[in-house]
Every structure is written in C-alpha cells, then in structure tokens.
Chain A
Amino acid sequence: MIGRASGYSAIGLDVGSRCIKAVQFARSRKGLNISAIACIERSGKGERGTLLAAEAGSLREVFARQGFRGRAVVLAGAPGRMLSGVMELPPRSSGAPIDQIARMELARANGCPPDSLELSWWELPAGKRAQDGTHVFAVGLRHADAHEAIDGLEAAGMEVRALDSGTLGISRLCALLSTSPATPVTGLLDIGWSGTSVAVLLGTTLVYQRLLPEMGMSHLHSRLVSELLIDAEAAEFVIRRVGVSNELSEEQRNWELLEDARSVVADHADSISAELKASLSYATRRHDATGAASVLASGGGASVPGLLDRVQRASEERIRAIRPADIAASPKDPLAATLAMDPRLACAAGLALEPTAALQLEAATA
C-alpha cells in the first residue's frame, strides 16, 4: 500500500495466458511514479490467473532483478474461476442476513457448498426495477482455487496481500482518469489472449461484467491460421503489425492475403463492438443512467493496430486505451518506459493500486 513508510506499493501481479505482468508504484513529492514494471513471457502454457510451480519459484528472483521492492503482492484471480453475479436480495430495512443470503445464492448458482467460497459484494445503484429490494453485485472465489493461486507464490517467499478481481483493479485505474463527472458511465474492455471481458462502471461502482472467452485474441489467432492457411508466426504478425490499420508499409500492402487478414480482424472487432454496445445499453437502461459513455480498453487486443478505431466506429462510443503511464510518471529506462505505455499492463497497474491507496489518490486528484 502506498503511504507506508517504505513509500512503495504492493506489486500488482496479473498472470495472463502468455505473459506475467507486474507493476509497482512509488510515491514521491512530485506524485506517483512507476518504480518497476515487467512483462515476463510464460515458457509453458498456463491458465490465466494461475501460476505454475516453476514460474512461481523463479518469480521472486526475477522481481529482484527487475528492481521490485518488498515481497507483498496483490494478485488477480483467474477470470475463468471467478464467480460473479447480480442478485436481488431483501431490502436492508427487513433485517435479513443479506451476507448469508448472497452467499447462499452465489453458491447455488455455481453449484458449490456455501462455506467453500470467499465472497464479497456491494450494493448497486437503485435502477428502475430496483424498488422492491436490494440489488447487489457479488464476486466470489472457491477456497480451493484461492489456495492454488496463493500457495505457489507463498512457497516462493512472496506475501499475497490480496486476491482481487482484475476488473476491479482496472476500475481503480479508471477512477483516477475519470475527471469529468458528466460521464458517469464507463465501459471497460479488457481484450486478453484467452478472452475478452466487458464491464460497466457507474461512477466508480462496477455494475456489470461479462466474460467472453470466444472473443480472446487466441480465437482471432486460430481463425487467421485456419481461414488463411498461414502458420502461427504469420498470424501473430498480422495481429501485432497489421490489424485493421490503414497505415501499412509497402511490403505489407503487397501481401496477397492482406485483405483477407484485415477482413478476419475487422470481423473480430465488430463482434467485440456488438457485445460492448449491447452491454452498455443493458447497463444504462437497467440502472437508468444518462449521459454519454466512454470506454477504456486494456489488454493485448488494445494494441492491435486499428482495432480500437474499428470498435469505436462500430459501437459509436468514445473509446481509448488505458496504460500505466496515464496515471503515473514513466520510468527513465527505455524498455520500462515502453512497457508503461502498453495497455497489457493496465490490469497489473490497477492491482498495485490497492483500494485505500486508489481512493486517496482519487481524492488528491479531485
């Protein structure tokens, strides 16, 4: 947590399918600085949010080499294992044990014993249909999954201070950027390798979240390989360098499969746009929110050339990528400065901003 005697935040750790992203902040008189940042390629195929034992064992050494301080870590739970849902519970005035009811409801919806999961929930703003009871957004994680995520890191000598939701981490980052109160609705678009997450914030409250596994970049990669009959490296090149951008080199323009590739990427972007538009529309109608929405994009997909422009045109929403450098001064090291501009590390940066620290910074910014 920033503000402690050390002056360094906990290490925000976002374990992706292909990369392990880590960010640490430091507070100085001039403001917030990125003290250390790293993006470590995973050698094996691992699930998002879950570290292999060998990876966890070497992580502390890598962190020390990369200039991270301390051993406190805030980890994001694996999106595929997180349990979430919106529930309608009895009103608070009834005196009903809302926490117990929320636990029972979430356990029942996910088919697990109530005492085998850790739960957190918060009340949603009252909407049109929320007059009769209390509407809450609940997030949970099975104890077994939590132990699996923590054990490897603690065996490597790290101290897991919190096991958070990646979406909430990004929302903390967004809270520092939302300087205009006229835009209370914020869409969060996290385009990762294994899936895309769409979330909606009302002010700083997460009111909607949906995980779209078929809209991850791995799905786009598979389509490129299978439909264009190109190898994996070529598909990777299309995603990283070509995308749907019009700014192409002469060599790229002469590629015979260019239009086909752009068509596949554009189709993927349009699918994301449709989901985003539908999610925003649903959330604003449900919670009776007014005003223009802005969308903040993170993840590797936000770096695909032209993809966000395509999504913006299709969804008719203002959309921009979010990066760690947007809220803190970049490090002087060129490689680290490049990483600070990478939207893939937005989630790790948000995790490093623990709730208390994020609120303090938000108040200071206001």
Chain B
Amino acid sequence: MNGVNLIPASRRELAARRSRIRAWAVILAGVAILSAPAAAAFRAMWYLDSGPARLAIAAAQTETQDSGARLLKVRGETAKLNQAEMASRMVGEHPDWSLLLQAINLVRGDSVALESFDLRFTPPVAAAAAAPATSPTAGTEAKPTVAAVSERYTVNMRGIATDLSRVMTFVGRLEGLGVMERVAMKQSRAENNRGVVVTGFDVECTLADRLVAPTPKDTATAEVPAPGDRP
C-alpha cells in the first residue's frame, strides 16, 4: 500500500456520476456530430431518389385538376341537356286538342252553336304540400301531402242555343266527358240573332290538373308525385 484516497465515498460517488454524465454528453455529442453528415447524405439520397415519385405526384395532381374541370364541364352540359329535355318534353307531350274539339263537337248536338273557343294554359305551380288534391274526374281521392307541380288548361266557350235547357244539357254532357275537372256556366242571356231570339251562353271549363315532374330547381320544395296522381 503506497497510497490511499480518503475522499468521502459519497463525494467520490457524486464525482464519478458527474464524470459519467460528462462522458455520456461527450459520447452523445460525438454521435450527433458523426450522424449529422450521414443524415444529410441520407436526406440528399432521399431527395434524389424521390424525383420520379414527385413527378408522378405532380402528374396525378394535374390529372386530378383536369378531371375536375372536365367534370364541371360535363355537369354544365348535363344541366343544359336536362333543360333541353324538359323543353322537349313540354312540347312533345302537348295534348292532342283535336280530340277535345271532336268530343265537344259530339256533345254539342244540333241545338247549340259555338261562336268562340278560347283555350288558355296556366303555367305549372307547385301544389301545396299539405293540401289534398281533389280529382273528381278521376273518381279517386288523391293522396295527401304530395308536393307536386301541376299545370292547368282553361277552356272558355261562347255560343248560342235554341233555349236554356239545351245549354244546360250541353253543360251536363261536357261534364260527362270526364276530362273536365270543373264545368261552370258563367253567363246566359237572351240574344237576338238575325231576328231570332236565342239563348247566349258563356261556359268555362277547367281541364283536370295535370301533374308534371318537377324541374331540378323545384326538387328542393316539392316531391315527385306518385304515378297514380297523374290525370
């Protein structure tokens, strides 16, 4: 024995711990210094290697943008086609009025002569959602709470008859056709036509409401009617 160390053990332990901490700090700093170039090299390699991937991503993004633009264009065209279809349907599905005229002519008989025939079209309006649609001519009760779009035609006829009873018969026959929702005798009067006293009359007929498919802008407020609701 040629030397002793009488530094208290607790103090030596503390010094050893400090020494270990310093050593680890140096080691960690060294590792950080050594790994920094490696990390930089790895990053550089990653950046270089990712060139094709970046190009693919850019191409995909461009393609996505182009697809979006094409989709918008197609949507616009679709909207235009829808409008054209609606117009075409409105024109194409127009009633054949000759059949109505023939029917009226048949029920007119020989005692009634028509002087004027006025057919008016009322544009489609959204029917009240809660209002029950009545369809006397169809003879069935409409389903309630059907939100639909209906169009209406009104026929105003003016004419003369030999007497009032013939007019009433004509009105009754019109109702009997089954295509009129409502037939109203608006006015009757006595007229002198070429020295002969006749009965003049004005009759207003409302054709049954025809439900049509709602346009896209109406779908927010109205539902498409059931097939049975159509006249």
Q: Chain A residues in contact with chain B, CB under 8 A?
A: 77, 118-120, 122, 137, 139-141, 143, 146-147, 150, 159-160, 162-165, 168-169, 171-172, 175, 204-206, 354-355, 358-359
Contacts and interface: CB of A to CB of B under 8 A. Distances in A.
Given A146-B6, A150-B7, 15 more contacts: A118-B7, A120-B6, A137-B1, A139-B4, A141-B6, A143-B8, A147-B8, A147-B11, A162-B3, A164-B6, A165-B4, A168-B3, A172-B2, A172-B3, A206-B2
Contacts of A120: 1, 4-6
B9 interface: yes
Contact of B3 (A118, A147, A160, A355): A355
B7 A146 contact: yes
B2 A168 contact: yes
Interface residues of B, number: 11
Contacts of B4: 120, 139, 162, 164-165, 168
Interface string B1-39: 111111111010001000000000000000000000000
Contacts of B11: 146-147, 150
Contacts of A77: 6
Given A147-B11, A150-B11, A204 B2 contact: yes
A195 B224 CA distance: 121
A168 B9 CA distance: 20
A163 to B, nearest CB: 5
Contacts of B2: 168, 171-172, 175, 204-206, 355, 358-359
Contacts of A141: 6
B1 A163 contact: no
A119 B4 CA distance: 9
Contacts of A355: 2-3
A122 B6 contact: no
A47 to B, nearest CB: 17
Contacts of A137: 1
B218 to A, nearest CB: 91
Contacts of A164: 3-6
23 contacts: A118-B7, A120-B4, A137-B1, A139-B4, A146-B6, A146-B7, A150-B7, A160-B7, A162-B4, A162-B5, A162-B7, A163-B6, A164-B6, A165-B6, A168-B1, A168-B3, A169-B3, A175-B2, A205-B1, A205-B2, A355-B2, A355-B3, A359-B2
Which of B1, B4, B5, B15 has the most A CB atoms < 10 Å from its CB?
B4
A122 B1 contact: yes
Which of A77, A141, A163, A204 has the most B CB atoms < 10 Å from its CB?
A163
Contacts of A162: 3-5, 7
Contacts of B3: 162, 164, 168-169, 172, 354-355, 358
B9 A118 contact: yes
Contacts of A159: 15
A251 B4 CA distance: 49
A191 B15 CA distance: 34
B219 to A, nearest CB: 87
B1 A140 contact: no
A162 B8 CA distance: 10
Nearest to A140: B6
B8 A146 contact: yes
Sorted from nearest, which 6 A-B pairs have the closest CB atoms?
A355-B3, A122-B1, A120-B4, A141-B6, A162-B5, A163-B6
A43 B8 CA distance: 29
A358 B7 CA distance: 20
A172 B3 CA distance: 8
Nearest to A116: B8
Which of B3, B7, B9 has the most A CB atoms < 10 Å from its CB?
B3
Interface in B127-162: none
A120 B12 CA distance: 14
Nearest to A162: B5
Contacts of A160: 7
A160 B18 CA distance: 14
Nearest to B1: A122
Contacts of A206: 1-2
A234 B111 CA distance: 175
A287 B3 CA distance: 21
Contacts of B15: 159
B5 to A, nearest CB: 4
A139 B8 contact: no
A164 B6 CA distance: 6
Given A122-B1, A205-B1, A206-B1, A139 B7 contact: no
Contacts of B6: 77, 118-120, 139-141, 146, 163-165
A141 B11 CA distance: 14
A35 to B, nearest CB: 21
A164 to B, nearest CB: 6
Nearest to B9: A118
A89 B82 CA distance: 114
Nearest to B18: A159
B194 to A, nearest CB: 141
B18 to A, nearest CB: 10
A197 to B, nearest CB: 16
